[in-house]
């Protein structure tokens, strides 16, 4: 049994990339250079973040109002697969936020205590049950196989402010404040429209997808194909590769070339993509575009892909997260980078980490509004009132008033041998392109779990 479990775990690990939910060490070149005494640096010890005022600060809280909440502290949990991936981005982000917030006075005077629950990929349910016994809420984390814990989370009425969600059963589940889009909507319709109708219109006649051969990735692949077809693509190539890895990508590259694929959506880990691209480039076969998925957004992919980046056109949709390499142009992102330098100098902010920090801010703003009477009901209802949440300027506006709402803005990055740069995707709202038509899936891919599914309702939440 143990021998069989190893490839299963490796297959699941590949899904981190498929879900676009992390798996890299850092992103962009945002932390290069010396910190200067900018407004961001001045805010580093205040309770203001970006355009949010007094997110954290002193107060007169004196009541123990809920599990994990005393007069002095708020105990929170952070889900992470760090024991398997060795990627500490969610823990690093939690350290930075809690250090900054506590230095500013905490939340109405209560200090934040964050515990990383290491799900080690396959132990999501065990860690969720632990969180259910001690935490007031989950904030700023995520696990690749997050569906394994959502039922228990709902049974114990634990609110969730995730940095990422991976599986449909968890995406937009009850008591969750998720800024990555509703489960019934595609996250990338504007991106696909741009690729197929504006940037490379001739590519629409020959689009391919390739994904890791595992249950979760097959669902994501099916959803991608539906969305691509709705955007006008003709799928002429589809393949699966062993999620545990491929020793020789030549047969895959030959198949892509023989079918004349012009645009390729790669749903897998960026290390595998880099190997495939090296083979394609060695064969002198150039596609119009490759969707590397936003898991590749970071220096690691650039290093692995090497010279092929000067030959192939690699893109990634950041789904409305301001690019890290442009931090100096955005006060909120610049402040985030400054806080990392101060409180976690050996770490760098990553794309999932930025989302995680925005989730911490959402929690803090909602919790602060509850004053001394901090309960889960007050917390959840306060966060649900956000109809244009930006995390102080880290994100494009997201409507959190509905659990199943589409993302309305996107932004595209291009990988080059010199770094990640914003692509020419014709932004119409600062760094983003907004007001794109959403696409609602027609296929049946499952649905998020609700309180009713576990015999509970909002009246049970205290």
Does the domain formed by 18-184+330-388 have CATH 3.40.50.2300?
Answer: yes
Dihedral in degrees, nearest 10, Cα atoms 214, 217, 218, 220: 170
DSSP per residue, 213-261:
SSHHHHHHHHHHHHHHHHTT--EEEEEEE-TT--S--HHHHHHHHHTT-
- pLDDT for 245 equals 86
- pLDDT for 231 equals 97
167: helix, strand or coil? coil
Residue 419 has phi, psi (to 5 degrees) of: 135, 175
pLDDT tens across 49-85, in order?
Answer: 999 999 999 999 999 999 999 999 999 999 999 999 9
Q: With 0-12 CB in 10 A as exposed, 13-18 as middle and 19+ as buried, what is 385?
A: exposed
pLDDT tens across 296-339, in order?
Answer: 999 999 999 999 999 999 999 999 999 999 999 999 999 999 99
pLDDT tens across 379-418, in order?
Answer: 999 999 999 999 999 999 999 999 899 999 999 999 999 9
> Mean pLDDT across the stretch 113-117?
98
Q: For residue 459, name the pLDDT band (cuts at 50, 70, 90).
A: very high
Average pLDDT, the chain: 91
Neighbours of 307 (CB within 10 A): 11
- pLDDT for 214 equals 87
- pLDDT for 46 equals 81
Of 289, 415, 331, nearest to 43 (Cα)?
Answer: 331
CATH class label, 189-318+408-434: alpha beta
Of 322, 381, 328, nearest to 357 (Cα)?
Answer: 322
pLDDT tens across 157-198, in order?
Answer: 999 999 999 999 999 999 999 999 999 999 999 999 999 999
Domain-by-domain residue ranges, the chain?
18-184+330-388, 189-318+408-434
- pLDDT for 106 equals 98
CA 54 to CA 444: how far, in whole Å? 44
Task: Assess contact for 48 and 86: CB atoms under 8 A.
Answer: no
Task: Assess contact for 290 and 262: CB atoms under 8 A.
Answer: no
Intrachain domains 18-184+330-388 and 189-318+408-434 with the same fold:
yes
Strand-pairing partners, residue 80, are: 118
Residue 161 has phi, psi (to 5 degrees) of: -115, 75
176: helix, strand or coil? strand
What lies within 8 Å, CB to CB, of 444 at 6+ separation is: none
> Mean pLDDT across the stretch 233-245?
94
Total residues belonging to the chain? 462
- pLDDT for 38 equals 52
- pLDDT for 244 equals 83
Q: Of the ranges 27-41, 207-221, 275-289, which is most confident?
A: 275-289
Residue 86 pLDDT > 90, yes or no? yes
Model's pTM, two decimal places?
0.91
């Amino acid at each position: 049994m143990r021998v069989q479990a190893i490839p299963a775990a490796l297959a699941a690990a590949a899904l981190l990339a498929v879900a676009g939910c992390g798996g890299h060490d850092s992103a962009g070149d945002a932390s290069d250079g010396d910190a200067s005494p900018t407004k961001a640096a001045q805010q580093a010890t205040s309770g203001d973040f970006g355009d949010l005022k007094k997110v954290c600060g002193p107060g007169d809280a004196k009541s123990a109002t809920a599990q994990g909440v005393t007069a002095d502290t708020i105990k929170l949990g952070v889900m992470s697969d760090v024991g398997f991936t060795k990627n500490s981005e969610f823990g690093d982000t939690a350290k930075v936020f809690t250090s900054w917030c506590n230095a500013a006075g905490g939340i109405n005077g209560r200090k934040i205590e964050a515990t990383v629950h290491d799900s080690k990929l396959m132990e999501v349910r065990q860690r969720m049950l632990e969180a259910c016994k001690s935490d007031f809420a989950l904030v700023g984390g995520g696990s690749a196989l997050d569906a394994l814990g959502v039922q228990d989370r709902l049974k114990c009425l634990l609110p969730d402010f995730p940095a990422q969600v991976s599986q449909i059963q968890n995406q937009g589940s009850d008591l969750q404040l998720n800024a990555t889009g509703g489960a019934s909507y595609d996250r990338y319709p504007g991106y696909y429209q741009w690729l197929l109708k504006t940037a490379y219109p001739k590519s629409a006649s020959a689009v391919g997808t390739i994904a890791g051969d595992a249950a979760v990735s097959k669902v994501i692949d099916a959803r991608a194909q539906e969305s691509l077809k709705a955007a006008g693509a003709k799928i002429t190539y589809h393949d699966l590769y062993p999620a545990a890895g491929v020793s020789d990508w030549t047969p895959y590259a030959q198949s892509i070339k023989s079918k004349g694929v012009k645009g390729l959506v790669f749903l897998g880990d960026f290390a595998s993509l880099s190997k495939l691209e090296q083979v394609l480039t060695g064969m002198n076969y150039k596609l119009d575009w490759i969707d590397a998925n936003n898991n590749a957004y970071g220096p690691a992919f650039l290093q692995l892909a090497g010279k092929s980046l000067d030959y192939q056109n690699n893109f990634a949709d950041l789904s409305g997260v301001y690019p890290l390499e442009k931090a100096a142009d955005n006060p909120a992102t610049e402040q985030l980078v400054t806080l990392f330098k101060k409180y976690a100098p050996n770490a760098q902010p990553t794309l999932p980490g930025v989302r995680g920090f925005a989730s911490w801010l959402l929690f803090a703003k909602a919790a602060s509004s509850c004053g001394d009477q901090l309960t889960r009901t007050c917390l959840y209802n306060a966060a649900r009132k956000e109809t244009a949440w930006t995390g102080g300027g880290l994100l494009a506006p997201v409507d959190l008033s509905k659990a199943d709402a589409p993302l309305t803005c996107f932004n595209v990055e291009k990988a080059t041998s010199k770094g990640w740069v914003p692509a020419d995707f014709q932004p119409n709202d600062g760094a983003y392109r907004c007001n794109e038509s959403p696409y609602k899936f027609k296929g049946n891919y499952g649905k998020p779990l609700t309180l009713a599914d576990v015999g509970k309702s909002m009246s049970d939440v205290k």
